[in-house]
């Protein structure tokens, strides 16, 4: 059953026009009693949707997967992926792509339901999601957007009126996710493994047309250009993660997008104490996706993407490998250039000097040694208030500080401009783990969304440095139990 009721839906379904091997048409899995608990009016407005209509019951029925919006064509996408290094056949096991909303400005966004029930790719799972993880994705994805990091966004969270069984019974929920697309590295791995070369080429041409239209389809090796473009976006994205202390938690190839957006917020979290070995995910027992490992894992994932494109890059496999390898080898340099530029900005440095990397590395070494808070250290630099912590009180830091000040004086820009640069690149607040848990606890166990609303409001302008944000800069109380996150599947 499809409905519209003047809600502003303007669907196209270009993904459904790809060869059928890439998806499975899917019937809805209705839920008992969908109730809207969080709604993102800013996202709705940007999509050209009627916020008021969507928040009425007819709209909530669509967001809960009980009704199909007019023009939508629900499907589950097929993809594969390396999960913690092991290759598996995967696919949308608890998600539906409703279609692509064309905005008033002509932009195209996937509209998907997460937690919408079983599909042919569910692999024995129930296809549902719990309220807590869906609210976590809403909070973190909106925080990432505010930080200026490419990301999927969240339109709404709907409770289902049903419980799901995990370790215990939990309230069920469905998240409506908005993304530039859901094309993944794992989508191409699936095509390389199970589709024909012609189908792989159709997928690659589709990705170029959708995300990299500046690639000339008639000039040069367009698939090598696609590899280069995706590599550049991933190098830039992961540098942005590192610069704010974000830990994705599960950088499997099926969680890495071709568009260069952050997606699939499962066991993600932000680092408090600076330590490259930081891991929050309960399932990452070997630290594969630790904070310090994210940059090289990004390169590893790009190499897997390159492997999937080899049949298109050149008919001769040896030549294809040589060409792809020349592109892949650029990743460390491009990542480091993005990261170094970002770190200079965090330290109020505009120009480049050869010893900048050494200066930054020395600071990070001291931060790790003195167990300094990552965000608050750079916040203190921005506020010119470097005192009152073991790091700031140390002799080693005071020596480093003198080098830093001398470095800033060797640039043409004024002290005021340098401080503004830091202000623009050092967030005053991040979604600290204890604050996120506080919001989730209130919402899930008490039905109180005021804590979450207040947190979201503070996170919406992370570079504002307002008095209202002050309480969110405070560190959690010491505990003997390390913080852990869970994937929510």
Is residue 344 included in any domain, yes or no?
yes
Give the model confidence (pLDDT) of 386-427 as tens digits.
Answer: 999 999 999 999 999 999 999 999 999 999 999 999 999 999
At residue 361, the pLDDT reads: 98
Does the pLDDT at position 469 exceed 70? Answer: yes
pLDDT band, very low/low/confident/very high, at 284 (cuts 50, 70, 90):
confident
Is residue 189 included in any domain, yes or no?
no
The pLDDT of 306-316, averaged and rounded, is 98
Tell how far CA 342 is from the center of its chain. Answer: 18
pLDDT band, very low/low/confident/very high, at 489 (cuts 50, 70, 90):
very low
Residue with tokens 């009425």: 56
The pLDDT of 186-199, averaged and rounded, is 98
Give the model confidence (pLDDT) of 135-187 as tens digits.
Answer: 999 999 999 999 999 999 999 999 999 999 988 899 999 999 999 999 999 99
Is residue 171 included in any domain, yes or no?
yes
Is residue 350 included in any domain, yes or no?
yes
At residue 481, the pLDDT reads: 57
Is residue 117 included in any domain, yes or no?
yes
Which tokens belong to 449?
Answer: 């969304």
Give the model confidence (pLDDT) of 106-135 as tens digits.
Answer: 999 999 999 999 999 998 889 999 999 999
Q: How far is CA 168 from CA 81, 123, 164, 211, 301, in A?
A: 29, 21, 8, 41, 34
Give residue 396's domain range: 339-425
Does the pLDDT at position 216 exceed 90? Answer: no
Give the model confidence (pLDDT) of 63-78 as tens digits.
Answer: 999 999 999 999 999 9
**Does residue 21 contact residue 117 with C-beta atoms inside 8 Å?**
no
**Runs of H (alpha helix) within 110-155:** 131-146
**Does residue 112 contact residue 184 with C-beta atoms inside 8 Å?**
no
394: left (phi over 0), alpha (psi -120 to 50) or beta: beta
> CA-CA-CA-CA torsion for 182, 185, 191, 193, nearest 10 degrees?
-140
Domain end among 179, 194, 213:
179
Does the pLDDT at position 436 exceed 80? Answer: yes
How far is Cα 102 from Cα 210, in angstroms, rounded to an integer? Answer: 13
User: Which residues on neighbouring strands pair with residue 462, listed in sequence order?
Assistant: none
Does the pLDDT at position 265 exceed 70? Answer: yes
The pLDDT of 48-61, averaged and rounded, is 97
How far is Cα 390 from Cα 395, in angstroms, rounded to an integer? Answer: 10
Is residue 323 included in any domain, yes or no?
no
pLDDT cut 70: percent of the chain above it: 97
Tell me whether strands 246-247 and 169-179 are parallel, antiparallel or unpaired.
unpaired
Element (H, E) at 325: helix 317-328
The pLDDT of 45-59, averaged and rounded, is 97
**Does residue 383 contact residue 420 with C-beta atoms inside 8 Å?**
no
How far is Cα 413 from Cα 407, in angstroms, rounded to an integer? Answer: 12
383: left (phi over 0), alpha (psi -120 to 50) or beta: alpha
Average pLDDT of the chain?
Answer: 95
Give the model confidence (pLDDT) of 72-112 as tens digits.
Answer: 999 999 999 998 889 999 999 999 999 999 999 999 999 99
Does the pLDDT at position 306 exceed 90? Answer: yes
Pick the catalytic residue from 92, 254, 272, 284: 254
pLDDT cut 90: percent of the chain above it: 91
Domain end among 405, 425, 445:
425
How far is Cα 1 from Cα 152, in angstroms, rounded to an integer? Answer: 28
Is residue 317 included in any domain, yes or no?
no
Tell me whether strands 23-25 and 75-77 are parallel, antiparallel or unpaired.
antiparallel
- What angle do the packed helices 294-313 and 197-211 form, to 10 degrees? 120
Domain end among 179, 203, 238:
179
DSSP letter for each residue of 398-430: HHHHHHHHHHHHTSSS-HHHHHHHHHHHS-S--
At residue 84, the pLDDT reads: 87
194: buried, middle or exposed (CB in 10 Å: 19+, 13-18, 0-12)?
middle
Is residue 280 included in any domain, yes or no?
no
Higher pLDDT pick, 220 / 190: 190
Catalytic residue list contains 254 = yes
At residue 218, the pLDDT reads: 80
Total number of domains constituting the chain:
2
At residue 167, the pLDDT reads: 82
pLDDT band, very low/low/confident/very high, at 486 (cuts 50, 70, 90):
low
Higher pLDDT pick, 286 / 453: 453
Nearest to 77 by CA among 152, 123, 21: 21
């Amino acid at each position: 059953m499809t409905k519209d009721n003047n809600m502003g839906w303007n669907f196209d379904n270009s993904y459904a026009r790809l060869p059928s091997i890439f998806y499975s048409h899917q019937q809805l899995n209705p839920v008992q009693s969908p109730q809207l608990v969080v709604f993102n009016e800013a996202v709705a407005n940007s999509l050209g949707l009627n916020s008021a209509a969507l928040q009425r019951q007819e709209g909530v029925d669509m967001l809960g997967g009980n009704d199909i919006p007019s023009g939508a064509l629900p499907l589950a996408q097929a993809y594969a992926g390396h999960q913690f290094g092991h290759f598996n056949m995967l696919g949308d096991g608890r998600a539906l792509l409703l279609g692509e909303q064309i905005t008033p400005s002509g932009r195209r966004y996937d509209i998907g339901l997460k937690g919408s029930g079983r599909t042919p790719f569910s692999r024995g799972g129930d296809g549902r999601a719990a309220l807590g993880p869906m609210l976590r994705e809403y909070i973190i994805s909106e925080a990432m957007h505010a930080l200026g990091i490419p990301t999927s966004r969240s339109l709404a969270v709907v409770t289902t009126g049903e419980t799901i069984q995990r370790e215990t019974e939990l309230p069920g929920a469905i998240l409506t996710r908005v993304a530039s697309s859901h094309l993944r590295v794992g989508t191409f791995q699936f095509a390389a493994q199970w589709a024909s070369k012609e189908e792989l080429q159709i997928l690659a041409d589709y990705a170029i047309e959708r995300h990299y239209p500046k690639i000339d389809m008639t000039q040069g090796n367009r698939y090598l250009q696609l590899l280069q473009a995706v590599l550049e976006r991933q190098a830039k994205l992961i540098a942005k993660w590192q610069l704010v202390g974000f830990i994705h938690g599960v950088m499997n190839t099926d969680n890495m997008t071709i568009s260069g957006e952050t997606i699939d917020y499962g066991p993600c979290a932000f680092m408090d104490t600076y330590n490259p070995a930081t891991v929050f995910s309960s399932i990452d027992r070997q630290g594969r996706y630790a904070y310090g490992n994210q940059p090289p894992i990004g390169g590893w994932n790009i190499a897997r993407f390159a492997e999937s494109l080899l049949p298109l890059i050149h008919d001769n496999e040896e030549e294809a490998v040589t060409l792809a390898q020349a592109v892949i080898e650029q990743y460390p340099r491009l990542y480091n250039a993005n990261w170094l530029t970002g770190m200079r900005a965090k330290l109020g440095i505009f120009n480049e000097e050869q010893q900048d990397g050494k200066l930054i590395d020395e600071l990070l070494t001291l931060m790790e040694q003195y167990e300094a808070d990552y965000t608050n250290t750079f916040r203190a630099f921005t506020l010119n208030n470097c005192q009152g912590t073991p790091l700031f009180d140390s002799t080693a830091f005071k020596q480093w500080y003198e080098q830093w000040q001398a470095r800033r004086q060797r640039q043409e820009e004024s002290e005021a401009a340098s401080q503004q640069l830091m202000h623009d690149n050092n967030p005053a607040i991040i979604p600290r783990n204890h604050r996120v848990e506080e919001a989730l606890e209130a919402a899930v166990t008490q039905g109180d969304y005021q804590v979450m609303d207040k947190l979201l409001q503070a996170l919406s302008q992370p570079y504002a440095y307002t008095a209202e944000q002050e309480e969110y800069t405070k560190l959690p109380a010491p505990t003997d139990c390390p913080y852990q996150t869970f994937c929510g599947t």
